[in-house]
């Protein structure tokens, strides 16, 4: 039975709920909820374990804050003996428009501190990641305020739809593999 580590990047605490930077948490919440699981607070993360078509998905929301996400990823990879190719990290991305999702098998951290921390912890840039486009509708110098800000009311219906698509993408990644899933989802323009 294959075991996967699904990592939602975000910050713990009520002040971060519903922010763009916490979209990774929102997606793993939706995945675990859809499959009848629940989260338990364990070492370095809230953990929800679910089964999907013969595979076990260990879904984590690190409690280390975004900038130290790598500590939780490395700990749970080692604890569950999960190979790097079976890890999927979900993060927000200001370089992508809000209508896009992008799955990649490798790449740079693109200035995302959570991805940078993971790259340092696992000592490679070659690990699957799902980038959730949050757009970049902010004035110069206000990137932090933007990513730590909440979605606009007008964006919420599209964000909800993209979270559902992200859950489908994760399920496809687990059953069909990364190449097939990239071909299916990376070209999509997700609109209402």
Distance in angstroms (rounded) separating the CA atoms of residues 43 and 139: 38
Distance in angstroms (rounded) separating the CA atoms of residues 13 and 169: 27
Q: Per the structure block, which two tokens stand in for 55?
A: 């595979």
Number of domains the chain is built from: 1
- Domain coverage including residue 134: 3-185
CATH number assigned to the domain comprising residue 66: 3.40.50.1470
Distance in angstroms (rounded) separating the CA atoms of residues 31 and 156: 18
Task: Please compute, for residue 66, the number of CA atoms within 13 A of its CA located in the half-sphere on the CB side.
Answer: 25
Q: Is residue 11 part of a domain?
A: yes
Beta bridge partners of 49: 58
What amino acid positions are annotated as catalytic residues? 21
Q: Is residue 126 part of a domain?
A: yes
Each residue's pLDDT, cut to its tens digit, for the chain (192 residues) gives 899 999 999 999 999 999 999 999 999 999 999 999 999 999 999 999 999 999 999 999 999 999 999 999 999 999 999 999 999 999 999 999 999 999 999 999 999 999 999 999 999 999 999 999 999 989 999 999 999 999 999 999 999 999 999 999 999 999 999 999 999 999 999 999
């Amino acid at each position: 039975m294959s075991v996967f580590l699904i990592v939602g990047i975000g910050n713990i605490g009520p002040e971060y709920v519903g922010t763009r930077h916490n979209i990774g948490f929102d997606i793993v919440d939706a995945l675990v909820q859809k499959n009848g699981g629940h989260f338990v607070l364990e070492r370095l993360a809230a953990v929800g374990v679910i089964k999907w078509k013969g595979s076990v998905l260990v879904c984590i929301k690190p409690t280390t804050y975004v900038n130290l996400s790598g500590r939780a990823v490395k700990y749970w990879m080692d604890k569950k003996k999960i190979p790097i190719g079976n890890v999927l990290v979900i993060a927000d991305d200001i370089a992508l428009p809000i209508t896009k999702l992008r799955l990649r098998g490798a790449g740079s951290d693109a200035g995302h501190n959570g991805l940078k921390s993971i790259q340092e912890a696992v000592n490679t840039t070659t690990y699957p990641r799902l980038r959730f486009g949050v757009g970049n509708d902010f004035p110069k110098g206000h990137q932090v305020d933007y990513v730590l800000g909440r979605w606009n009311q007008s964006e919420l219906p599209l964000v909800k739809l993209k979270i559902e698509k992200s859950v489908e993408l994760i399920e496809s990644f687990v059953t069909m593999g990364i190449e097939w899933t990239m071909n299916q989802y990376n070209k999509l323009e997700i609109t209402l």
